Chains A and B, each alone.
Chain A
Amino acid sequence: MSLALNVEHLAVSLGGREVLRDVSFTLAPGGFCGLIGANGAGKTTLLRTILGFERPTAGHIHRAGTLGYVPQKLQLDPDAPLRVRDFLRLGLDGHRWGIPLPSRAARAQVDEIVAAIGADAFADQRVGRLSGGQLQRVLIGHALIRRPQLLLLDEPLANLDPSAAAAVAALLGQVAAGGVAVLLSAHDLNPLLGHVDRVVYLANGRAAAGPVAEVVRGEVLSALYGTHIDVLRVHGRIVVVAGNGAAHDHDHAVPIP
């Protein structure tokens, strides 16, 4: 099986500072991978390098086929005259020159995506007036409409309430089940548990990557963070206990060092 994404011994420096070193992981078609780390751990840099906005100082990135990208948000005035439908259409042909002419085929594809992301209720609303969860789904639809093989998302669950976050995670699970390789960054693994099958943990510029059960373990995280860490599983949530014995919920504990 050919890989959707293969990152080999990647190193990236920004302004002379080495942000990532020797980062390696792979993602197969249909794989759903969480890119987990604290603010400043290098999640954004890794995504931007995969997108081609930053140049690696060492290593290689091989990616297959069409790429879809979901930014964290759009800088958009609430009154900006852009309906959800029109924004999705831009995902289809916004890179082409000229005015968007009415097209039955394009309309059918937009309708299909509206249904897939569950946006029927707000398809004719202005994009600037959507809630955080609605906007994330629309951004995902915008990326999906060109049928990418690899979908990259920058903190899609940040600033969402738990139920909206669960809905977005479930939607992305369906996307992955449809054969798209999905890589999303997050500072918290918990909302993704039960959805992602792999994780890439970033800390101190290095990465620990693999299936959830293999990576989210005391020995692996202790080695990555350079401090003693215990991992407990309680009611389907993960609790990380740092070296001094003070227990933290995963939300707060992983960015310890």
Chain B
Amino acid sequence: MTDVLVTALIVGAAAAVLCAVAGVFTVLRGQAFAGHALADVASSGGAAALLLGLPPLAGYVLLGLAGVGGLQALSARRTTADHDLMAGILLGAGLGITALLLYLDVTLGSASGAAMSVMFGALFALPASAVWGAGAAALVAMALAAVLYRPLLLASLDADLAAVQGVNVRLVNTLFLVLLALAVALASLTVGAILATALLTGPAAAALRLTRTPGHAMALASVFGLASVWGGVGLAYASYGWTPGHVWPVSFFTTLLVIAFYALGRR
């Protein structure tokens, strides 16, 4: 069980730190719903990966990126796009496909716990090799966040101001959605596609209230996120002893801790 625990802690840490960084921008930009929509679209990738016997992360990432393309295509034709509406339509399409794929997972495959693992995470079911994929995705995403940092911050404050200063606002917005897709893909692996938004927005929103610069907010959100995920993993691991033979979901404990940190930050 120790290998499983180490894998869970490493993958969970990668998700927590990346979600902290992406989450601060997400909250500043008011794009929590876009993050949720991308996670729901990504869930169909996770379900498809189970069906095909591929690593779930690959499915989450590929379909998350497809979701970015979908969001941009839906809002490109409109001059004043209602981004929440576009995200809502995309979310519906993604979850509809997920419903079919999860049905097929259960009827055709042997993945009886498919719905639980895609929607609410299966951190203890990951093979040790998942560490490499998660680490690589997190590194690429962190590098992207570092490159985007200044123009993204400026464009988040006022798109016109950024454009006058020479920022390609459309490119920056699209690359931010790519960052968001990678963050929710890792979060989906950790707490599931449905709960990915909790890890994305909760620690960041709590940290934003307690800090004076975006960098400090990201650092504090990382601490909150790590404590939530590792605490969740630890409590879930311990639950095996409370109810012998049964492990409570990591995502239950993690979201509980996220909400506790948010409540703490609001005081």
User: Does A pair with B?
Assistant: yes
A residues within 8 Å of B by Cβ?
Answer: 51, 53, 67-69, 71, 74-77, 79-83, 86-87, 90-91, 93-100, 126, 142, 146
A51:B160 contact, CB within 8 angstroms: yes
Per the bound structure, the CA–CA distance linking A79 and B209 in Å amounts to 6
Per the bound structure, the CA–CA distance linking A76 and B214 in Å amounts to 13
Residues of B within 8 A of A75 (CB): 157-158
Per the bound structure, the CA–CA distance linking A86 and B165 in Å amounts to 16
The residues in B between 205 and 248 inclusive whose CB is less than 8 angstroms from any CB of A are 208-209, 211-217
The answer, yes or no, to whether B148 is at the interface (CB within 8 Å) is yes
Closest B residue to A94 using CB positions: B154
Residues of A within 8 A of B161 (CB): 69, 71, 142
CB distance from B58 to the nearest CB of A (A): 28
Residues of B within 8 A of A76 (CB): 157
Instruction: Give 26 A-B contacts (CB < 8 Å), ordered by A residue.
Output: A53-B160, A71-B161, A74-B158, A75-B157, A75-B158, A76-B157, A77-B28, A80-B28, A80-B208, A81-B211, A81-B214, A81-B216, A82-B157, A82-B214, A87-B157, A90-B157, A94-B150, A94-B162, A95-B150, A95-B166, A97-B147, A97-B151, A98-B146, A98-B149, A99-B150, A142-B161
A91:B165 contact, CB within 8 angstroms: yes
Closest B residue to A96 using CB positions: B150
Per the bound structure, the CA–CA distance linking A53 and B161 in Å amounts to 11
Per the bound structure, the CA–CA distance linking A69 and B159 in Å amounts to 12
Residues of A within 8 A of B157 (CB): 74-76, 82, 87, 90
Per the bound structure, the CA–CA distance linking A83 and B165 in Å amounts to 19
Contact A81 to B151, CB < 8 A, known contacts A71-B158, A71-B160: no
Residues of A within 8 A of B148 (CB): 97
B150:A90 contact, CB within 8 angstroms: yes
The answer, yes or no, to whether B259 is at the interface (CB within 8 Å) is no
The answer, yes or no, to whether B95 is at the interface (CB within 8 Å) is no
Per the bound structure, the CA–CA distance linking A106 and B35 in Å amounts to 34
The answer, yes or no, to whether B89 is at the interface (CB within 8 Å) is no
B158:A95 contact, CB within 8 angstroms: no
Closest B residue to A75 using CB positions: B158
> Chain B contact residues (Cβ within 8 angstroms of A): what range?
20 to 34
A69:B216 contact, CB within 8 angstroms: no
Per the bound structure, the CA–CA distance linking A94 and B154 in Å amounts to 6
The answer, yes or no, to whether B1 is at the interface (CB within 8 Å) is no
Per the bound structure, the CA–CA distance linking A87 and B166 in Å amounts to 16
Residues of A within 8 A of B147 (CB): 97-98
B208:A96 contact, CB within 8 angstroms: no
Contact A81 to B213, CB < 8 A, known contacts A90-B154, A95-B151, A99-B149: yes
Closest B residue to A152 using CB positions: B164
Per the bound structure, the CA–CA distance linking A71 and B159 in Å amounts to 10
* Given A83-B212, A87-B157, 5 additional A-B pairs, CB 8 A: A67-B164, A71-B158, A81-B212, A90-B154, A90-B157
The answer, yes or no, to whether B264 is at the interface (CB within 8 Å) is no
CB distance from A69 to the nearest CB of B (A): 4
Residues of A within 8 A of B146 (CB): 98-99
Per the bound structure, the CA–CA distance linking A87 and B213 in Å amounts to 10
Closest B residue to A80 using CB positions: B28
The answer, yes or no, to whether B167 is at the interface (CB within 8 Å) is yes
Residues of A within 8 A of B215 (CB): 99
Per the bound structure, the CA–CA distance linking A97 and B148 in Å amounts to 6
The answer, yes or no, to whether B153 is at the interface (CB within 8 Å) is yes
Residues of B within 8 A of A80 (CB): 28, 208
Per the bound structure, the CA–CA distance linking A172 and B202 in Å amounts to 42
A90:B153 contact, CB within 8 angstroms: yes
The answer, yes or no, to whether B116 is at the interface (CB within 8 Å) is no
The answer, yes or no, to whether B263 is at the interface (CB within 8 Å) is no
Per the bound structure, the CA–CA distance linking A82 and B151 in Å amounts to 14
CB distance from B142 to the nearest CB of A (A): 11
B167:A95 contact, CB within 8 angstroms: yes
The answer, yes or no, to whether B136 is at the interface (CB within 8 Å) is no
CB distance from B19 to the nearest CB of A (A): 17
CB distance from B77 to the nearest CB of A (A): 16
Residues of B within 8 A of A142 (CB): 161
Per the bound structure, the CA–CA distance linking A93 and B165 in Å amounts to 9
A98:B214 contact, CB within 8 angstroms: no
The answer, yes or no, to whether B73 is at the interface (CB within 8 Å) is no
Residues of A within 8 A of B213 (CB): 81-83, 86
Per the bound structure, the CA–CA distance linking A21 and B165 in Å amounts to 28
Identify which of B150, B208, B209 contacts A97 (C-beta below 8 A). Answer: B150
